[in-house]
Amino acid sequence: MLRVPHGEAVDLSSCDTGSAPVGPQDKSAARSATARIGEHLADLQERLFAASTAGDRRRVLLVLQGMDTSGKGGTIKHVIGFCNPSGCRVRAFQAPTAEERAHHFLWRVEQSLPRPGELGIFDRSQYEDVLVARVRELADTGEIERRYDEINRFEKSLTDDGTTVIKCFLHISYEEQRRRLLKRLDRPDKHWKFSPSDIDDRALWPAFQEAYEIALERCSTPYAPWYVIPSDHKWYRNWAVGRLLLEHLRALGPQYPQAGFDIDRCRRRLRAR
Amino acid sequence: MLRVPHGEAVDLSSCDTGSAPVGPQDKSAARSATARIGEHLADLQERLFAASTAGDRRRVLLVLQGMDTSGKGGTIKHVIGFCNPSGCRVRAFQAPTAEERAHHFLWRVEQSLPRPGELGIFDRSQYEDVLVARVRELADTGEIERRYDEINRFEKSLTDDGTTVIKCFLHISYEEQRRRLLKRLDRPDKHWKFSPSDIDDRALWPAFQEAYEIALERCSTPYAPWYVIPSDHKWYRNWAVGRLLLEHLRALGPQYPQAGFDIDRCRRRLRAR
């Protein structure tokens, strides 16, 4: 998982989508490593939540972006699935509604942020407004240009307020997307995930890759970096995102709050009542 | 799990909180049965979500109520934990904020309802406004009396709009609560869940049991029934809530939508592009 250095140009075509640069090298090793990571995630998530009950405002926001079929949903199912649903706030961003379009583009994002102690997960995010908006020309150039800086300022204020922001680009190849779309066609229980327009959209692949490169270059900041996750192998993607999340949670080191009461006295009172 | 018949008086003291009236009779059998239930839940939840993408408005709302330590949070962790976090909307209701108090008591509940295809889970709910509000006299008697009917009308409109409402009272004994509170005192990683006021609140136990009996009698309707779940055994509670959820999801019988496109043509186009 490449951490994009601040202000450096990114060449996505040179990132091997089928690689496993660190960590487990095959499916079975990755699966067991991911399950172990999951246990630690669940433990740290509970501590983070517990700490929030004593006033700790810290929280985590995981942003998942990627082309169609890159596995944003699968990552949530297989990685976030290890966590306690009570502490997770998952939000999938679709094409904006009329109400959302009437507001500033960050409005709907602000509504969906994790509260103290929570783990927030964005399936797509504020980045759609510089990705699809750029490729499909949904806003004029000046507006798009302004948005990169607005996103950076927004993420700065989030991190200043105690949010750890982790942004993952799930990177798959053009060929892998073809394989996954063909697989969806083969399986009637996957047809609902398919639309013929997904095929048309493949014509826009180079434009989207370019839009991602620009977003990663301009919005990978020291406080909210972008990570490129090689995602042709689902087992690697799950391991890598889980590992990244674990690293950040460990760095936070959330602690169970100390009892602010006399334990022995409580014991005696409870036994008597 | 007792389904409370509409309009019948309920005597909670005669419901054995330590019983396992149907299903598995010990921890290990219950755990494996619950894990099997979990697999079916995950499958049906995905179908429900898939159906919603084709316009199916159906959704499920699981309401969990119970005395302190009855296991509302544990049920979410161990039963809802089997589901895909993307399709779950969990909401814990605390004492209302100033903004919430300024609104009608159902306002905050309406904000938190599941969307089509989702599984909503309430950890506490609109029932707090006829439970704690009654016991602590937070509203006058006439207002509390009106709320039962308002809740019934509200739940009727939810079910008319495609929401399956399942309400579970996690029933524990006075003794079991003592054991669980003492256990929390023994474990530093559980101190954050404890407050000395939990001990004072035990003086209100009979009043709360009575408030529950009234709520169950008046608000167990044919369209949104209440279930009493014997919950002294956590393994039984998890199995029973999982089983109930599964039964309702099975009755809905959500189906993957049919493809609305020419599959072979899509295959050819994809291979060419």
CATH code where residue A236 lies: 3.40.50.300
CB atoms within 10 A of CB B271: 9
Alpha carbon distance B102, A216 (integer Å): 44
Instruction: For B178-207, give the DSSP string.
Output: HHHHHHHHH-GGGGGG--THHHHHGGGHHH
Q: Give the tokens for residue B196.
A: 């000395």
Question: Could you give phi then psi for residue A25, rounded to 5 degrees?
Answer: -110, 0
Contact between B219 and B148 (Cβ < 8 Å): yes
Q: Look-up: residue for tokens 């429900």?
A: B48
Dihedral of CA atoms B149, B154, B156, B160 in degrees, nearest 10, equals: 160
Whether residue A73 and residue B53 make contact (CB cut-off 8 A), yes or no, is: no
**Tally of domains within chain B:** 1
* Cα–Cα nearest to A74, from B85, B81, B76: B85
Whether residue A123 and residue B181 make contact (CB cut-off 8 A), yes or no, is: no
Domain of residue B150, residue span: 2-272
Which amino acid, one-letter code, is at A212? Y
pLDDT one-digit tens code per residue, A223-262 = 999 999 999 999 999 999 999 999 999 999 999 999 999 9
User: What residues of A are in contact with residue B185 (Cβ under 8 Å)?
Assistant: 263, 266-267, 270
Q: Give the tokens for residue A3.
A: 């951490």
The residue among A124, A266, A268 with the most chain B CBs within 10 A of its CB, best to mutate, is: A266
Is the confidence at residue A1, as pLDDT, over 80?
A: no
Distances (CA, A) of A267 to A6, A121, B195, B202: 54, 40, 12, 14
Q: Is the CB of residue B77 less than 8 Å away from at least one CB of chain A?
A: yes
Contact between A63 and A165 (Cβ < 8 Å): yes
Taking only Cα atoms into account, the Rg of chain A, rounded to an integer number of angstroms, comes to 20
Place B187 in a pLDDT band, splitting at 50, 70 and 90.
Answer: very high
Is the confidence at residue B189, as pLDDT, over 90?
A: yes
* Cα–Cα nearest to B175, from B212, B136, B202: B202
User: What residues of A are in contact with residue B182 (Cβ under 8 Å)?
Assistant: 267, 270-271
Place B233 in a pLDDT band, splitting at 50, 70 and 90.
Answer: very high
Q: Where are the alpha helices (DSSP H) in B53-167?
A: 72-78, 98-102, 107-110, 132-135, 141-160
Share of chain B above pLDDT 90, in %: 98
A172 by DSSP, 3-state: which? coil
Q: Is the CB of residue B202 less than 8 Å away from at least one CB of chain A?
A: yes
User: What residues of A are in contact with residue B76 (Cβ under 8 Å)?
Assistant: 84-86
Taking the CA of residue B81 and the nearest CA in chain A, the distance in Å comes to 6
